[in-house]
C-alpha cells in the first residue's frame, strides 16, 4: 500500500487559500477555500484532471462553454485540458474538496486565460 503524505500547509491566494491534505505518486487532495466574491482564474491543465466536491457553500463552475451551479454535496469532474474556473459570487464562504490525478501535480501545470487578479 502506498504511503500517504500530508503537508497541511496553507497556501494563500488572492481568491482565498488551499491546503494540501493528502498526496501520492499520481494524486493530490486539497481543501480549496474561496472567499465571498473570489474567482480562480479561467485555466486548463495539460497533465492532470480534477474532481471537485462542494462541502460548504455554493459554487459557480465554468467548464468549457458551460456555467453550472453546485451546492453542498454536489460534485463535478474537470477533464484533462478542459477550460475551467471555480467562483464564489455568493454571500457565504465556499469550500471544495479537490482531487487531482495525473502525471504532473504542480502549480506549474496551470495555463491561465483570464484572471481578475492580473496573473495572466
pLDDT tens figures, 61-98: 999 999 999 999 999 999 999 999 999 999 999 999 99
pLDDT digits (tens, 9 = 90+) for 106-117: 999 999 999 999
Residue 5, domain member (yes or no): no
Q: What is the pLDDT of residue 1?
A: 45
Distance CA 19, CA 98 (A): 10
Domain harbouring 104, CATH code: 2.60.120.10
For the stretch 9-66, pLDDT in tens is 899 999 999 999 999 999 999 999 999 999 999 999 999 999 999 999 999 999 999 9
Flag whether 61 is in a domain: yes
119 lies in some domain: no
Q: Which of 50, 51, 68 is nearest to 59 (CA)?
A: 68
Answer yes or no: is 18 within a domain.
Answer: yes
Confidence at 2, pLDDT banded by 50, 70, 90: low
Does residue 4 register a pLDDT over 80? no
Q: What is the pLDDT of residue 8?
A: 84
Q: Structural domain of residue 38, as residue ranges?
A: 10-114
Q: How many CB atoms lie within 10 A of CB 76?
A: 17
Q: What is the distance of C-alpha 14 from the center of its chain?
A: 14
Amino acid at each position: 500500500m502506498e504511503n500517504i503524505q500530508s503537508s497541511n500547509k496553507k497556501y494563500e491566494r488572492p481568491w482565498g487559500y488551499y491546503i494540501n491534505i493528502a498526496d501520492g505518486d499520481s494524486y493530490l487532495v486539497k481543501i480549496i477555500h474561496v472567499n465571498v466574491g473570489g474567482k480562480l482564474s479561467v485555466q486548463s491543465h495539460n497533465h492532470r484532471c480534477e474532481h471537485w466536491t462542494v462541502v460548504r457553500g455554493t459554487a459557480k463552475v465554468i467548464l468549457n462553454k458551460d456555467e453550472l451551479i453546485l451546492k453542498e454535496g454536489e460534485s463535478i469532474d474537470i477533464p484533462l485540458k478542459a477550460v475551467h474556473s471555480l467562483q464564489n459570487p455568493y454571500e457565504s464562504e465556499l469550500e471544495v474538496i479537490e482531487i487531482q490525478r495525473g502525471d504532473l501535480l504542480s502549480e506549474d501545470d496551470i495555463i491561465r486565460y483570464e484572471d481578475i487578479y492580473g496573473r495572466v
